[in-house]
Structure 1
Amino acid sequence: MPHMAIEYSANLDESVDIQGLCTLVAETILETGLFEIGAVRVRAYRAEAYAIADRLPQNGFIDMNFRIGKGRSAEEKRRAGEAIFAAVSQRLAQSFATPHFALSLEIREIDAELSWKKNAIHPRLRGK
């Protein structure tokens, strides 16, 4: 269950291809080899209201929250986080060329005892 939620400031609409970013993140998650294709979910949420740092109107942010199921070592989680962060950082190089952009990523493990799932996609993809 790798679920990536990307929250971003609305002022990035003109400079960042958010759909392309979601696709990049999904591809990078799969390239780690740690997750099944049928479990990957990447979605983005546009923050209409925000106040960033010194509140200059050109300040922008992307915050990524990556929720995964238990069962991966600390090294595997670190490797996945570094791969995702590096790919996104490279894609957003232009945003870092200004002193008005912030990027963050956090990985959280889901407590299996408090998580319920039903997925009809897995059987279809596993049958290939």
Structure 2
Amino acid sequence: MPHFSIEYSANLDSRVDMNALCALISDTILETGLFEVGAVRVRAFRAEAYSVADRLPENGFIDMSFRIGAGRSAEEKQRTGEAIFSAVGAYLAPLFTTPHFALSLEIREIDPDLSWKKNAIHPRLRGK
């Protein structure tokens, strides 16, 4: 259950290929070896209404949230966060050439007693 959400300011539509960014993040998550293919979800949500810092119209943001199931060590979570943040930072490097962009990532562990799931994809990918 790694669910990755990207919230981004609408003014990035012409500057960032969100489908490519989602694919990059998905690949990076899988490269850690900590998550099953059938569990990975990466999606992006456009924020039409937003206010960033001093409200200059060119200010933009990407806020990333990664919800994962329990059971990974602090070191594994740290390594995963660093891998994702590094890959995304490199992909978005052109946005950092101006003083109008902010990027953030937070990893949250989900309480297994308060999470319900039903997944028909797992059996297919596991060959069962």
TM-score by length of 2: 0.99
Aligned length, in residue pairs: 128
CA distance in 1, matches of 2:112, 2:98: 41
Amino acid at match of 1:122: H
Counterpart Cα distance in 2 of 1:36 and 1:104: 25
Matching residue of 1:9: 9
Q: What is the match of residue 51 of structure 1? A: 51
Deviation at 1:72, TM superposition (A): 0.1
- Please state how far the C-alpha of 1:103 moved relative to its aligned partner: 0.2
Q: Quote the residue 2:23 is aligned against.
A: 23
Provide the residue aligned with 1:111 in structure 2. 111
Q: Does 2:63 align with 1:63?
A: yes
Q: Identical aligned pairs, as a percentage?
A: 77
Q: TM-score with structure 1 length normalisation?
A: 0.99
Mark the runs of 5 or more structure 1 residues left unpaired by the alignment: none
What RMSD, in angstroms, separates the aligned Cα atoms of the two structures? 0.7
Q: CA deviation at 1:43?
A: 0.3
Aligned to 1:122: 122
Aligned residue type for 1:17: D
Show the counterpart of 2:81: 81
